[in-house]
Amino acid sequence: MARKKHIDVVRDEDERPIAPAEQGSERAWQAALRPRSFDEYIGQKDLVENLRISVQAAKQGGWALDHFLFAGPPGLGKTTLAHVIANELGVNLHVSSGPAIDNKAKLGSLLTGLGERDALFIDEIHRLGPIVEENLYPAMEDFRFDFFIGEGPHAKAMTMQLPRFTLLGATTRMGLLSAPLLDRFGFHWQLRYYELADMKAIVKRSAALIGVPIDEDGATEIARRARGTPRIGNRLLRRVRDFAHVEQDGSIDGSIAASSLDRLAVDHAGLDMLDRAYLSSICERFDGGPVGIESIAASLSEERGTLEEVVEPFLLQIGFIARSPRGRVATAAGFQHIGLVAPSKAPTGGNSGQGRLF
Ligand code: ADE
């Protein structure tokens, strides 16, 4: 009944051994540091507790877990949670994404490859096309896939019964999901940026896994600049490890962490060059705003989607920008951060999240 094996696109990398000499890709590295159980998972406590209950109920009751949707900026653990859930359920995880399922046949082959109670993870689910999405509805609701054999007037309508499965959807853009798709999930959750204490614990855990000694100050420095995002924390840890290896004895303390991150252009609030260019654009070029996203994107020669999905959520969270009906505005804190005096019209940008994150 319960099967432990994972079928997914990252399985090989996921099972790679890790060592300080690891030369793998960024994705392999991130996968290797991923927690595999609820007990190993740090942060998002309320979500993890809810999932624990639902997983336990599904296991005890012998039913397939309900379809769950996770929303939030990249790097907060949506994929990781899908792996943890499948692992805890003892079922296979099949991994795909909205853009990869670009026609009905691909959806059909994915669905018909599922085993009883397996989990199907669809990343960027907001990018499914309308035809694929419509065909997903009966699969989610009645575990059914409808298709035609043949073409034209002789085409024959067929229905295939699917195993009971769990759809785990992930999106960086909850607002782009259609109401009928949203309705078919039993549970939605918006993931939050991780608090400093959790980020610190994640950095320490990852350092231990890769065998790099790190002290409290080193972990704090990396955690503080990781913008509440485990994927970024693990990436920064790897970069600081390089500096510590070349310039010190390989161990990370507060001073090597700070000096490496300064040189990598990640500032004390965790902003990188694109974040600062975005802030400068609003503050200097557009006089603090309000300014529309298209104008900012054009001024930076950057994709609007990247700004909306990656840059803005964090700047909003820490109160460096605000949204108004007429566009984005830089707050007094945003002006100060890039060394400018805020005009009197700039909002103060008080944000409850800031205290928790930094
Ligand atoms: N690595 C990446 N995300 C993690 C998390 N939430 N808990 C523990 N380790 C992690």
Q: Do 293 and 308 meet the contact criterion of CB atoms below 8 Å apart?
A: yes
pLDDT in tens, the chain (358 residues): 444 444 443 333 333 334 444 456 788 888 889 999 999 999 999 999 999 999 999 999 999 999 999 999 999 999 999 999 999 999 999 999 999 999 999 999 999 999 999 999 999 999 999 999 999 999 999 999 999 998 888 899 999 999 999 999 999 999 999 999 999 999 999 999 999 999 999 999 999 999 999 999 999 999 999 999 999 999 999 999 999 999 999 999 999 999 999 999 999 999 999 999 999 999 999 999 999 999 999 999 999 999 999 999 999 999 999 999 999 999 999 999 999 999 998 998 755 443 334 3
Q: Report which protein residue has its CA nearest ligand 1's atom 3.
A: 230
- pLDDT for 153: 87
Q: Do 93 and 213 meet the contact criterion of CB atoms below 8 Å apart?
A: no
**Ligand 1 center–CA 32 separation, angstroms:** 11
231 annotated active-site? yes
77 pocket-lining for ligand 1 (C-beta < 6 Å): yes
- pLDDT for 10: 33
Specify the pTM: 0.89
72 pocket-lining for ligand 1 (C-beta < 6 Å): no
35 pocket-lining for ligand 1 (C-beta < 6 Å): yes
**Ligand 1 center–CA 222 separation, angstroms:** 14
**Ligand 1 center–CA 227 separation, angstroms:** 14
- pLDDT for 24: 63
Q: Which among 8, 14, 118, 123 is annotated as catalytic?
A: 123
- pLDDT for 355: 34
The closest-lying atom of ligand 1 relative to the alpha carbon of residue 44 is: 6
78 annotated active-site? yes
123 annotated active-site? yes
83 pocket-lining for ligand 1 (C-beta < 6 Å): no
205 pocket-lining for ligand 1 (C-beta < 6 Å): yes
